[in-house]
Every structure is written in structure tokens, then in C-alpha cells.
Structure 1
């Protein structure tokens, strides 16, 4: 599993922006899911859902600040009780310390917080250790070493969780020259949000306005507000957003690596520079993931019995915006953030080269893996096994609904509104039910902006036009509202009208100050 890996940045999904031959092998030799969705589009809650098979209001990991109680039952514990050897390596992000460290694993080695791209620290049962090198390679080394040293007579379950391609997008040296040709800018990059809920317009995750000098590998000049808005006081960091002035004639940016100076003629030229620079850095980190997936497959394929009897899955903890709607980051229920990649190869059971268009969720992962392993699925799990779909069966009464709820009400960095909603094969319904606190901890003064959005994903795949109030969608609106209500009742979720009481202020999911000091990198 990767962190923040958009489906469009895997070449078998057909966007044509990069080349991932080893990930493509999983699709060629197995199955690609086009409609796999996250229950809560942010790192920590998604990881908790995958591990427990439950939604955020059940496992109580609703925001980035939340921590998973390691006394709770989970997938690894159930697999181990069924005779499996279990291991977890890489990004954990579900809390640190004895009360929150991984449990249910025979072996675990995880990075603190977000982890570092270079010379990363790893927390293990006997303390913290630093390992020199590039983190994607190191995580794979640790995984392969454990798989090789396992008891060969018993089955195993390995969770290999990469840090990449999470912000700040620092690539391996060997990939620094990749993707220098211009990458196609998304058709909705200049979205003006006119036909949408207010939540889209106020969000602060725009490529043109909210990326920082550190994000793009640029030297940050000295100065105060004139050089850019401070990212946030919350994390005690000093990185600033790169301005997007109307007059760009005095704007000069310098590459941190080679000192190249960039100048601009128009605001549009500056915005596209930021986009290209962002995409280059993002895609280069993914190239190391692809390389290491290749290493993993090479090891497995060297043993015909292991190859035939091993399910290999590749996914991400959520999707990610690659300039769509002008954004980077995730959080929202719009498709690029909501949809996760899911590739699966299992030669003995999954037909090669198959594509599935049924709707599945990350909450469904745990019961699917358990059923495949022949281990009982606990009654507490809310997900549904989609093993029959993996095996190529046509399930007539499959649940064609995906549910998301984003709980971070007080996001003072991205100003992303809390919301919940569902989608079926064609339509998507979203309810935006709060406004985040401002930097002073107060609600905006211009009134209540709780809003609904309805998208026809067939007629409007770019999700530019909210048709919730259009008369011709009256029946669709009623049907989707009923579908949403049924799903919320089924999983036991309900609207919290007063959300100020349940969460503290939440900023960006960036490395803590301690992690930044460890890595020796300051903005």
C-alpha cells in the first residue's frame, strides 16, 4: 500500500501521465478495480478502516489526530489466530507508544509519524533505529528479508506500507531526470467552482496558490508576508506558500538543487510551472514504488508454488488530486480523492487481465482477505467480502453503493468542510454539514452554509455541475437520499449537528517538528 497514490498515476488506469510497468503487471496478470472507494479520505482513518474492517465512527479513528487503540481486534490478529505468520513494515500512522503500537504482528518495523524519505528512522519492538538509504528501498528490503526468513511450512500475511508518494515528494537520485516533458494539464484545472457548493470554492489546496517552496524543492527567500502566506502556526513550521500575484514580473524562483532561476510572464505561466513541478516530483517518487513492486514480484515468481498461492494486492490509503479542480491533496468526496487504486494478482483464483466495475470499499478489504485465507470473519466487521468478484463471478445483488464521511471539522490549514455522502454506479450525493474553524478558533461570520451536491457521473465525469436542485433530477435526488439514509442506518452512522465538541483543531498531515529535526530538513 502506498500513501496518496492516485489511480491516474498508475499507467494501467489509462491516464497516460507516467509509466509503471511492474504495477501494470498486477493488472495484466490479475484484476484491476475501477471503482474501489475510501470510507474517509485521509490517511489515518483509512488505515484504521483497512485494519479493522469498520467505519470511522466504530473504530473511533475519525481524524488525523486520532489513534487506534491496540487492544481492539484487527485483521492481523484474526489472521494470526488462523495460523498465519504476520508482519507490518513501513508507514503505520495510527499512533505511537505502547498503547498504539502495532499489535497482531509477529514482526513489525514502522516509521514514526509520516516518516522520512532519506535515512529514515524505524520504530521496532526493541526501540528506534535509523537506516541509511532511500525509504522505499528500505521498506522493501525489510519485507523481503522477513518473507525469506519465515517458516516456509506456514502461510504468511505481510502489510508492506510505503511512505511515498506523500508530500514532500523527495525522489531517489536515480529518478531525478524523469518526466521532464510537459505533463497534460487536467481539463478542469481552472475550475471556477461556480456551479458547486461553497466548500469547493473555499478549500485551500490549490496548485496555483497553496503549494509551498519546500513542496516544490525551491529556495525560500527571506521575508515576511510579502514572500507568501505562512503555512500554519499549528505545526511550528516556517515554510510559506508560493505567492500567486497578478503582477509576476518581479517573481523569481530558484531550484534548491542546482540554483536554476525561473521567471514568469503571466499568472497562468506561473500556475502551470507549479503544476509541472508538482507532478514531476510526485511521479518520480512513484517510480521507486514501481521498481520495488518489481523486486517483490521477482522474489515471489522465483518460487512457482509461492507465485501460484500468493495474493498480491496493490492499493493506496486514498486517492489524490493531480491538478483536477486546480487541487492537490485529498479529503473530498470528489472522485480523484474518493477513488483508490486496487490491483490484485492471484494466479490460482483470479482470471488474468480482468477488469471489475463493481463498487467496493476499503472497509471490505479485511473480510475479503480473511475469507480467502479460510479464516472466520468476525461479526464486528462491517465490510463485505468481495472474494467472488476477485474470482470473476457476476454477483447479481452486489451492494452497488460506496459511502464516505470526512470528519475533520476544524481543518484550519485546508479549510475542508466535513461531509458525508454516497455514490452508486452513476450518481453521487454529498452533504456538506459544517464550516471549519478559522485560525482563531471561530466559525465564519457569514451564516450557515450547509449544502447538498448531486453529480451525474456519467454526463458530468469532471464533476463540475451540481444538479441537486434541478427538476429533472428530482427522482434521482430522492432515490439517492434514501440510499444514503439506508447505508447510514446499516452501518450505524448518524449526523452530528454540533461538531465543535468532538475534535480539536487539525492542521496539515505533515511531518512533526521532531521528524523534521531528525531528517535535518527545515523549510
Structure 2
């Protein structure tokens, strides 16, 4: 009788194990095949909005210091050539969740609802015993699925005294958004730390309009930020840049972006909504907060009224932009430090994967721009770093092309869970963990495919390929033009060589490789 009972128990265990694996990954997977770690790692994925790698000291920034964010890189791995597949907020977040390009997951731009019925890595983790949560900026329009708990900002959210939607119910909190998001996150971890957990900690900052916390309103007041070397780029022979509407000189709003109450200042057509929106934002401040705010920016207004020439105004607005942007980054860094300190104090640090990244890069005046969207390096490249003391050696710098597409398969693989075969990203485990299969690292991608779909702000749809030596971009709607850059000779991407006959063979080769990437990723491009 005892023998029969033991045999029956073994059979049931085998069937349950098979069912779990199939539910997680279907009949096939892209798992690396190494034995999983004995204990499931906790996961904290911190994603900021529009955080430029140029504003992180781990990437050599001379603009500011980010010691807490840097700590993740110093105690783990820094991806020096991380990129995105589509440089716009909603689309990038959908790519992170699904491990699939925008044309596959169905969310190509900021105006599309995310189909929450599709597979995501939090759903897979949830089926494999994880407690899951997303807190902060969601920006996918549909309700989150695959989470035991969600508490998200409606749309873009607000910097001060922000409303949230908590499990479908409207709520609101007092305070500054970056602090509030971290408060809610640490509270959730504390309640769930006895189980394997996965938290998506999604910050709003430093997204436009860059409203800093009160305690930092005078930070950087005595620092002069130099204009980037490409600030006065005239955009010759680059038709898409000539028609964009995201320049610092012509398209920042003095009220919304520079925080100046100038009722007589001109309104640019592309930002005709901005003055009214800024009024709504400052009305969110309490009377006490508003008093501090108005006093700080009254000083800026006094400076503004002394400006006489167009160039003086442009340079002044650039300074204002940089000050407020970096003040928001400072608050992010503070709160990353709070998370890391909590993990230390709770003895969770060693077995917790912490990833810090942005949903894309951002222009800090390069080519005269703010914002993102283009395939040029400042928005195409994104900060990305990962710490996992139990498995990932410290002080690594990885030069390989990694993508936001790779986050989902990487986290599943590090958790010892099979990766679904239809995920288009690759697990970064072979790059990160000693003892992983070496052939996977040796055969890592040598080129990157990009596809952007929006036409707002005067932008042009485009796709392209990036290799170590070259970048080839096709802008196809509403204009039709090609651009080629020799990245060794022209790292700032200033000279379009597409019509240079000396590069005819290079262009032919890149177009062939571009077509192969489109076939690999099932992007049926007609143009």
C-alpha cells in the first residue's frame, strides 16, 4: 500500500511539473538550458520616462551625478550600447512587457490601446508562483493584466499630488510623484517579501514638463550648462530633421516648459495646448507648495525680462530646460537609493534582480532638439543596467547590442523559467552570468533593427539598421528619403552619405541586411 502511494505521488508530481512548463512557454521555448538557481530571484524593474543616458554619471555624464543609479551598474552590469526598437513611451513599454516588436504586439504609438489578453512576462511569472505588481506610469491605456496588484497613473500622470487608479478605482495621494511611487512600491514589497515577487516600478520622471520637487527648485542655479556641440546643427541634407517640430529654439513653451507666467509671450502652433495645461498643473499645488514654487520661478521671470535677442532667449531656455530636467533626475536618483537601501535593510539584496532603464533615450539639445522618436543615437540608445549579486558579477561593462526587447526573456531565464519561442528578444543571461553557454555570447547580435510609426510633432515614420560601422535609415511617411551615416568617421550623425557614390556597395549590403532583419522579425514593410 505504501509503495502504491509513493508511486502515485511521483506520477502526480510529474504531470503537474509538465503542465507548469507548458503553461509558461507552450510546447517550445528559448531557454538557455542551464539549471535554475535553487531559490527564485525577486525582480524589481525600474523604468523611468525619457531619462537620457547623457544624464547618468555611470555613462560619463558631466552634467550631473547619479550615485544611486550608478550603484546598480557598479554592483552588476552596465549595458553600454543598449537600444530601443521604437523610441516612444507606450510602444517601448509594450515591447518590454511582451519581448516582441511593435508590429507584433500591436502597439506602435502613443495613441493605441495595449491588448492585455496577449502573453507578457509578468503573466508567466505569476503562473510560476510569483506575486506581481505594477506601480506608477503605465501609459498603455488598457487596464493592466497579469498583476496581483496594480496602482497606476492615468495617462501621463501629474508631478504634484497625483491621482492614481488603484485596481480600477480612482484614488489620489499627497506629495511629489517620484516619492509617492516609491512609497507605494516599498509598501507593496514589504507586504509580499515572503514570496518571490516581481515589481514593475514605473516612474513618470523625467518626462516633460519637468516639474521638480520643491526641495530642488534652486539646484543647479549656479551651474552653467554648455550647449552640445551639435546644438546649432542646420540639418542639411536631412529632410526629416528639417520638418520636425521639437527644437529647443522654436518649440519649447515659455510657460509650460520654462515655468514663466508670461501671458504676452507667443504660442507656437504645435504647443497651443501648453499654456492651459501648465495652469492646470500648478493649480494642483497646495497653497503652501504654490508659495514656494512662485517664489522660485519669480526669480527666473526677472531674468527672462532682461533678455533682448532671440539667441539670448534660446540659450536661456536651454538652461531652464536642463535645470528642471536634471532636478527631476536628482529626485529619481534619490528614490532609487531608497529602494536599494530597503533591500539592504531587509536582507533581500542578494537574491533580488534590480534593473534600471529608461523607456527610451532623450535629446538634451543635441541637433538642437529635445524629446526623442528619431533613430539618431541620443533617443535610439537608452540607459540599461542590472544588478543580481547572487549570479551576476560586479563591475561589468557590456558593449554588445542589447535591447528593451530582451528584458522579458532575460528575466524569465534568470528565474529558471522557459522562454516562449515566439518572444523576439534574446536572454542576456549568457552575457551576464559566468558559466552560461559561451557560444550564445559569441553569436550575439551584431546589428539592430528599428521601426518608428508616429507623425506627431512633425515627425516622419522610419525604419533602419544599425551596425558597428554604419546606420542606414529610411524615412517613408509623409516624406520618402534615405540617410546613411559612417559612425566611425561621423559619430554625431551630421553628414548624410546616402548620395555619395563611394558608399554604393555599403548601401547595397546594408539594404540586404535590413531586409533580412525585417524577415527575421516578421515586419512586412511595403516601402
TM-score (norm 1): 0.84
1:455 aligns with 2:485: yes
| Match of residue 500 from structure 2 | 470
- Report if the CA contact (8 A) 2:253-2:275 is conserved: no
1:64 aligns with 2:110: yes
- Report if the CA contact (8 A) 1:86-1:104 is conserved: yes
DSSP-derived class of the 2:343 partner: helix
- Report if the CA contact (8 A) 1:170-1:281 is conserved: yes
| Match of residue 162 from structure 1 | 203
| Match of residue 38 from structure 1 | 84
| Match of residue 20 from structure 1 | 66
DSSP-derived class of the 2:418 partner: coil
DSSP-derived class of the 2:97 partner: helix
* Structure 2 unaligned spans of 5+: 1-46, 280-294
1:296-445 maps to which residues of 2 (within 5 A)? 296-304=339-347, 306-391=348-433, 395-409=441-455, 411=456, 414-435=457-478
1:9 aligns with 2:55: yes
1:88 to 119, 127, 134: 134
TM-aligned CA distance change 1:234 to 1:434, over 3 Å: farther
TM-aligned CA distance change 1:94 to 1:238, over 3 Å: closer
1:16 and 1:232 map into 2 onto residues whose CA distance is 31
Shifted more, 166-175 versus 476-485: the winner is 476-485
Kindly provide the CA deviation profile for residues 195-226 of structure 1, in whole angstroms up to 9, marking residues without a partner as x: x3200111110001100021111113247xxx
DSSP-derived class of the 1:357 partner: strand
1:132 and 1:378 map into 2 onto residues whose CA distance is 41
| Match of residue 152 from structure 2 | 110
1:174 aligns with 2:215: yes
1:183 aligns with 2:225: yes
- Report if the CA contact (8 A) 1:91-1:161 is conserved: yes
| Match of residue 338 from structure 2 | 295
1:273 aligns with 2:316: yes
2:342 and 2:275 map into 1 onto residues whose CA distance is 43
1:237 and 1:45 map into 2 onto residues whose CA distance is 27
1:265 and 1:282 map into 2 onto residues whose CA distance is 25
DSSP-derived class of the 1:428 partner: strand
Shifted more, 102-111 versus 375-384: the winner is 375-384
Question: How many residues are matched?
Answer: 458
- Report if the CA contact (8 A) 1:31-1:390 is conserved: yes
1:373 and 1:8 map into 2 onto residues whose CA distance is 31
- Report if the CA contact (8 A) 2:54-2:61 is conserved: yes
1:195-274 maps to which residues of 2 (within 5 A)? 196-213=237-254, 214-222=256-264, 227-232=266-271, 256-258=297-299, 259-262=301-304, 263-274=306-317
- Report if the CA contact (8 A) 1:255-1:261 is conserved: no
DSSP-derived class of the 2:520 partner: helix
- Report if the CA contact (8 A) 2:248-2:370 is conserved: yes
2:356 and 2:298 map into 1 onto residues whose CA distance is 32
Shifted more, 208-217 versus 391-400: the winner is 391-400
Per-residue deviation, 1:476? 2.0
| Match of residue 489 from structure 1 | 519
Kindly provide the CA deviation profile for residues 343-386 of structure 1, in whole angstroms up to 9, marking residues without a partner as x: 11111222211101100111111001100011121222111111
TM-aligned CA distance change 1:450 to 1:126, over 3 Å: closer
- Report if the CA contact (8 A) 2:253-2:274 is conserved: no
- Report if the CA contact (8 A) 2:243-2:458 is conserved: yes
Larger radius of gyration: 2
* Structure with more of its chain in helix, by fraction: 2
- Report if the CA contact (8 A) 1:204-1:415 is conserved: yes
- Report if the CA contact (8 A) 1:230-1:239 is conserved: no
DSSP-derived class of the 1:191 partner: coil
TM-aligned CA distance change 1:139 to 1:18, over 3 Å: same
